[in-house]
Amino acid sequence: MTNLPVIYAAAFLAAFACSAALTAVVKKIAVKLNFVAHPRQDRFHKSIIPLGGGIAIFTAIALFCLTAAICAKIGKLPFYPKEFTNKSSELFIILACATVLFALGLWDDIKNLKPSTKLFVQFAAAFCAAYFADVRVELFIQSKIITSIISSVWIVLIINVFNFLDNMDGASAGIALIATIILFFAAAMSGQLFVAGFALLLAGSLAGFLLFNFFPASIFMGDAGSLVIGFFVAMLTLKTTYYQTGSTDKWYVVLMPLAIMALPLYDFITVTTLRLKQGKSPFVGDTQHFSHRLKKRGLSEVQTVLTLYLATLATGLSAIVLKIINSAFGLLVGVQIILVLAIVAILETTDKNDSTKQQ
């Protein structure tokens, strides 16, 4: 389709502009309504920051998705790829599930819900998306119920991964942007126009918000944003086709989502382990995240976030390579990802005063 690059570029730029404009508006309204984040022990920000960035991100995505689904349904836009038209029903279901998560996150931003309540709603929304919109991994298992349950666990995991990452200016949105762009290329390489197009809508919305959220942030996304972002990224990892039938020598490409999400998963696993060892709930916030640990070692906030971005890029780009190499080199890619995480572990556990002590 000759005009496909134009459609992709237009989708990204339109979502970017819409998200940026909505974020600017929401920021002003949030201040007037006192919908703000106050400084706390588990946060590094020292001033009152408006919340509601998630409203802008979700609204931008929802507007474009609804427009695309409606236009595809009534057939008013002849340049739409046929795949978009066939996927309109799935898009409505996915958007409905995202709306439930958005409402959950927004209510949590206002009332601070119990973790058990949040997890229950997350699993319900995830299962509906997996079962009714085919947002699931097959894993060569015939049972739709089983694959939907397995996929729901993955979706809820990624939702909470990005919720955990939302602990420093630009961290969650920036890492989600990088992961989404990598998933766009993976989907485009597989000829999945619907998934690739949605990825660019999400990427554009994240980039527009990031203009206001990168250090020093003038607005936070809140749970209304992090839950939705995590859901959409998880959806993209499950909807993207990695394994091609007949490519028995490239089974390892199904590990691409793990490679793309290696750094966020590393943060989630390490901070959860630390909290459990200390007898704390994994869902009680603190300053023990990977980003916090790096900052305590002497990095500035900008240096810390850029380190997160570069490490995510290093593992994510390796994931793309998995689609075009043989099994021997696939093993090397896996080793490379482990080495990147090992470097990260060394950086975050090095005392900034060690060099002074040695001198």
Q: What is the reported pLDDT for 41?
A: 66
Q: What is the reported pLDDT for 244?
A: 58
Q: Say how many Å lie between the first and final Cα of the chain, rounded.
A: 64
Q: Count of residues for the chain?
A: 359
Q: What is the reported pLDDT for 57?
A: 97
Supply 167's token pair.
């602990």
Q: What is the reported pLDDT for 56?
A: 97
Over the chain, what is the mean pLDDT?
A: 87
Q: What is the reported pLDDT for 322?
A: 78
Q: What is the reported pLDDT for 353?
A: 55
Q: Is residue 1 part of a domain?
A: no
Q: What is the pLDDT of residues 92-107, one digit of tens each?
A: 899 999 999 999 999 9
Amino acid occupying residue 75: G
- Work out the widest C-alpha separation in the chain, in whole angstroms: 73
Q: Which domain holds residue 294?
A: 7-358
- Spell out the alpha helix ranges (H) of the chain: 4-32, 53-74, 82-86, 88-111, 115-132, 144-165, 171-189, 193-213, 222-239, 256-260, 262-277, 290-296, 301-321, 327-349, 354-358
Give the other-Cβ count within 10 Å of 283's Cβ. 15
Q: What is the reported pLDDT for 42?
A: 60
How many angstroms separate the Cα of 250 from the Cα of each of 225, 334, 345?
Answer: 36, 14, 30
Q: What is the pLDDT of residues 308-355, one digit of tens each?
A: 999 999 999 888 887 776 666 777 888 888 999 998 888 877 665 554
Of 200, 189, 258, 220, give the one whose Cα is nearest residue 51. Answer: 220
Q: Is residue 2 part of a domain?
A: no
Q: Is residue 187 part of a domain?
A: yes
Q: Is residue 155 part of a domain?
A: yes
> Which position has the token pair 């709930």?
281
Q: Could you write out the DSSP letters of every residue in 257-302?
A: HHHHTHHHHHHHHHHHHHHHHTT--TTS--S-SHHHHHHHTT--HH
Number of domains in the chain: 1
Q: How far is it, in rounded angstroms, from Cα 4 to Cα 193?
A: 9
Blockwise average pLDDT, block size 10, the chain, 359 residues: 78 96 97 89 76 97 85 60 66 94 97 94 98 85 91 97 94 97 91 89 97 96 97 95 58 81 93 90 82 86 94 90 71 86 83 47
Q: Is residue 194 part of a domain?
A: yes
CB 180 within 8 A of CB 195: no
Q: Is residue 25 part of a domain?
A: yes
Q: Is residue 236 part of a domain?
A: yes
Q: Is residue 270 part of a domain?
A: yes
Q: What is the reported pLDDT for 292?
A: 85
Q: What is the reported pLDDT for 358?
A: 39
Q: How far is it, in rounded angstroms, from Cα 357 to Cα 146?
A: 55
